[in-house]
Amino acid sequence: MTEIGIKDEPTSRKGTFAVLRVPSFAWFLTGTTLTNAAQWIQNVTLSWLVYDLCSSGALLGMLNLVRSIATVGLAPLAGVAIDRFSRRGLLYAASTWLFAISFVFGLVLLGNPAIVWPLFLFSFLGGIGQAVSMPLRQTVVFSVAPRSLAPSAVALVQTGWAIMRSIGPAVGGFLILWVGPAGNFFVLAGAYALVTLTIIKLQLPYEKQDIASAKSHSSFREGWSYIVSNPTTRAFVLMSWILPLFIIPNFNALPPIYAKDIFAGGPDTLGLLLSAIGIGGIIGGFVTASLGQLERRGLLQLASLLMLSLSLIAFAISSVLWLALVCMVLAGFFEMIFLTTNMTLLQLSIPASLRGRVTGIISLRSGLMPVGAFIAGIGADLVGPQAMTIVFGGIIAAIALTVFFASPTIRDYRLSQAMVAPDAAPSASSE
């Protein structure tokens, strides 16, 4: 599918929030932020219920594994579908699916709030929805914002994600106390219903479907071949693997253990830990969106990664909750700068005609998430969550320093290189 996108208007719009004056992007940002809110409420609900009922870090890792199996299995097909079919239709399908399963599982938990297996089934079915939703929304953002405003657009989308990461876990934790687990699933259903309303208002650019004779596996190979052959895209894809393997486990798998075993708290404590990460992310997102024409984006990515590692290590050795929360704020701040910078440079390195397929393949990195989560869970059971956080932090620091000295493709990459359309731009220097 080729898409006649929004024309680039670099001279008329300036500033951090200029992209919000594009109506399609404003509606897209609203829907994406609501989707993120639902996801964070879901994460805290599922994580707390599984650990509260089973007291097992390994099962927390299995929860992520079940979800990722579905996501990884469907991501390549989702990428092909994004490039071939109506993106509006796919947005409707994903939000409707997530609404339906949330509502049904709310009814299930009303009948038996102490049963465990439906939680794993919900994770699997939710992973199916996310297999479409995640690469789709990463692709659509570049259809509803001019290329000149893409860095700010991505940063604001990620800031919305960080805001919901801050609010969603706290809301989810307190809702467990106020309305119970079933109530949380009905909240999720309501959020996805609102997402559908934003899609109705969304004005996507004209889409022209490609009548291609190639089969889906051929289309998959096209996306994979581009990643392999383009040194810039390949380098940023490899950097993105750090997120699911070594960063996200500290934010998803380990916090329930910290909340219950280290700080002797409940779901409200878990909500505070996750919200602290989100607060830092909000600040980091706005900072990234306001960077304007800062050229050394590759170096910024590495510096933020190194500072993130130090923040995680400081969190692990914190003995009181308030200090741990400060460290989580810093960790969220530097994670957001790293994530937004990596995602922006990566997406801008992909031709528009291949963006869905390549993004679908990139989404396969979520298959690494259960690996990191499972290692974190097993390690927490054996040596404690603090030791595992220190190990992950050390690995992240080692990667940042190694890439700085060994990879000019990333270290020397500049924003001006990214802003040139990849169809016509020469590749960055090879490793």
Predicted confidence band of residue 315 (pLDDT cuts 50, 70, 90): very high
Residue 333 lies in a domain: yes
Residue 90 lies in a domain: yes
Q: Which residues pair with 3 in a beta bridge?
A: 207
Cβ contact 373:252 at 8 Å? yes
Which tens digit of pLDDT belongs to each residue from 139-164?
888 777 777 787 788 888 878 877 77
Residue 425 lies in a domain: no
Instruction: Return the percentage of the chain with pLDDT > 70, whole number.
Output: 86
Q: Which residues, 6+ apart, have CB-to-CB distance to 32 below 8 Å? A: 137, 141, 157, 160, 161
Average pLDDT of span 53-60: 70
Residue 430 lies in a domain: no
> How many other CB atoms are there within 10 angstroms of residue 116's CB atom?
12
Residue 426 lies in a domain: no
Residue 220 lies in a domain: yes
Which tens digit of pLDDT belongs to each residue from 239-295?
888 888 899 888 878 888 898 889 888 878 887 888 888 889 889 888 887 886 777
Cβ contact 176:184 at 8 Å? yes
Fill in the DSSP letter of residue 247: I
Check residue 16 and give its pLDDT: 64
Which of 188-193's residues contact partners 24+ apart within 8 Å by CB, and which partners?
188/38, 188/41, 188/42, 188/98, 188/102, 188/106, 189/99, 189/102, 189/103, 189/106, 191/34, 191/35, 191/37, 191/38, 191/41, 192/34, 192/35, 192/38, 192/95, 192/96, 192/98, 192/99, 192/102, 193/99
Per-residue pLDDT for 429 more than 50?
A: no
> How many other CB atoms are there within 10 angstroms of residue 239's CB atom?
24
- How many residues are given for the chain? 431
Residue 7 lies in a domain: no
Average pLDDT of span 300-305: 94
Per DSSP, the three-state class of 108 is helix
CA separation for the pair 30, 49 (Å, rounded): 29
Would you list the DSSP string of 357-381?
HHHHHHGGGGGGHHHHHHHHHHHHH
Check residue 2 and give its pLDDT: 43
Check residue 222 and give its pLDDT: 77
Which tens digit of pLDDT belongs to each residue from 174-229?
777 887 778 888 888 998 999 998 888 777 765 544 434 344 445 667 778 888 88
CA separation for the pair 88, 107 (Å, rounded): 29
Higher pLDDT: 168 or 30? It is 30
Residue given tokens 């719009």 in the structure block: 13
Element housing 261 (H / E)? none
Higher pLDDT: 185 or 78? It is 185
User: In terms of DSSP H, where are the helices of 12-116?
Assistant: 23-54, 57-84, 87-111
Average pLDDT of span 302-308: 95
Domain membership of residue 231 as a residue range:
17-207+215-418
Q: Which residues, 6+ apart, have CB-to-CB distance to 279 below 8 Å? A: 162, 166, 329, 332
pTM of the model: 0.73
CA separation for the pair 122, 129 (Å, rounded): 11
Predicted confidence band of residue 236 (pLDDT cuts 50, 70, 90): confident
Which amino acid, residue 184? N
Higher pLDDT: 431 or 409? It is 409
Q: Which residues, 6+ apart, have CB-to-CB distance to 222 below 8 Å? A: 214, 354, 357
Average pLDDT of span 402-406: 91
Residue 117 lies in a domain: yes
Predicted confidence band of residue 424 (pLDDT cuts 50, 70, 90): very low
Average pLDDT of span 363-388: 83
Provide the CATH number for the domain around residue 59. Answer: 1.20.1250.20
User: CA dist 137 to 90, 98, 144, 192, 374, Å?
Assistant: 10, 15, 11, 14, 27
Per-residue pLDDT for 48 more than 80?
A: no
CA separation for the pair 287, 337 (Å, rounded): 8
Based on the structure, what is the number of domains in the chain?
1
CA separation for the pair 88, 83 (Å, rounded): 12
Residue given tokens 């599922």 in the structure block: 46
